[in-house]
Amino acid sequence: MPDDLPSPEFRRLHARDAVQGMVPQTFLRVLAEHLQRHGVEPASVMPAEALRSGQQHLGRYPAEAYCQLLLRAAERLNDPLLGLHLGQSIQPAHLGALGYVLLACENLGAALMRIQRYHRLLHDINPIQHHIEGDSMVLQWGVARGKPGALFDETGIAAIVQFARALCGRMLPVRAVDFVNPPPSQTQPFIDHFGCPVRWGQPVTRLVIPLASLQTPLHQPDPVLLGLMEEQVEAALAHLPDSGDLIELTRRVVRQLARHGVPELEQVAAELRLSPRVFYRRLAERGQQFRQLRDVALRELAELHLVDERLTLADVSELLGYTEQSAFSRAFKRWSGEAPLSWRQRHRQVGVSGTPVTPPAPAATPDPA
């Protein structure tokens, strides 16, 4: 860490780990535009390679190099809250096809679930996860693959909130925001922006949103556009370089293959360019079983489709590769502890009353050798 940093505000920004992974090259364009708006020539902060990359709509840029650019930009702008300010400037249009997917969703819940599902198009450092906590939904990422730092995390949370407000055209109620990073001396700007308590030094970075907000309709839902753009997003996701996370890759391949029938181990192994025996052994070395991973991936995909009320249960069943709706219903009940229709009705009721019933945890299913 440099010894001549001007204040503890900037020292806290350097309290981070070197990270692996990639981010979209369009993030560089967002940073260059922010510098330009604030009277700083981007070339004085960003190398020529980064500026050229930022002009492209496709492609990836090393996450560590991007985090270093954020640090340089914060110091050049003398803005220790650059993460908050940069996140406020990111719009869905900056995300290319994924941005159009978000804009075309029926409601906020469907859009947020797609942010989680396609998070590797945003970054593949630490995966974005969601779970239900009382009458709230929590989006979070941990530190298993390192801490990218305050600037990265604060940009990410501020951007998700900004996306939600842009998609809905109104303020998004937020219950709580947590960061893993050290606190800034100025906390009020965060409280003002998020409109809720904000904590630092927590185990995970997370955003807590009332479940009732998930039913908020978006401006221009467009099922045709959504289908077309999701095909592009799925193709882009499939062509991302191997992140090295076999568990995540397995779930992703299961989701890709699902519409052609419930995937078997041999099919997924073939997609991963592994023999079934090697694939099984590598999962076992990680304490995982294929059937459990497949169930998790299919349950996530089912919930993603169930929140879209334009789809019938038969449609959802077909999208998950089931030839009979009854077979899908039995499988969903095994995964989630309730029938798909009651799951959908309960989430619809949440949007009205805000008093959901938390479903029981799915039972583990042994995987035959």
* Predicted local confidence at residue 236, as pLDDT: 81
Is the model's pLDDT at 334 over the cut of 50? yes
> Is pLDDT larger for residue 220 or for residue 155?
155
Q: Which residue in 349, 315, 317 sits closest to 332, CA to CA?
A: 317
Mean pLDDT confidence for 186-212? 95
Measured distance CA(35)–CA(99) in Å, rounded: 23
Question: Residue ranges of the domains in the chain?
Answer: 8-215, 244-353
- Segment of 39-43, 120-124, 272-276, 339-343 carrying the highest mean pLDDT: 39-43
3-class state of residue 291 by DSSP: helix
Q: Are 242 and 253 in contact, with CB atoms under 8 Å apart? A: no
Measured distance CA(111)–CA(23) in Å, rounded: 20
What is the average pLDDT value for the chain, to the nearest integer?
84
Measured distance CA(42)–CA(340) in Å, rounded: 51
Regarding beta strands 129-133 and 60-62, do their DSSP bridges make them parallel or antiparallel, or are they unpaired? unpaired
* Predicted local confidence at residue 369, as pLDDT: 30
The second-level CATH assignment, the architecture, of 244-353 is Orthogonal Bundle (1.10)
Measured distance CA(123)–CA(292) in Å, rounded: 25
Instruction: State the pTM of this model.
Output: 0.67
* Predicted local confidence at residue 56, as pLDDT: 57
pLDDT in tens, 243-262: 557 887 788 788 878 878 88
pLDDT in tens, 201-211: 999 999 999 99
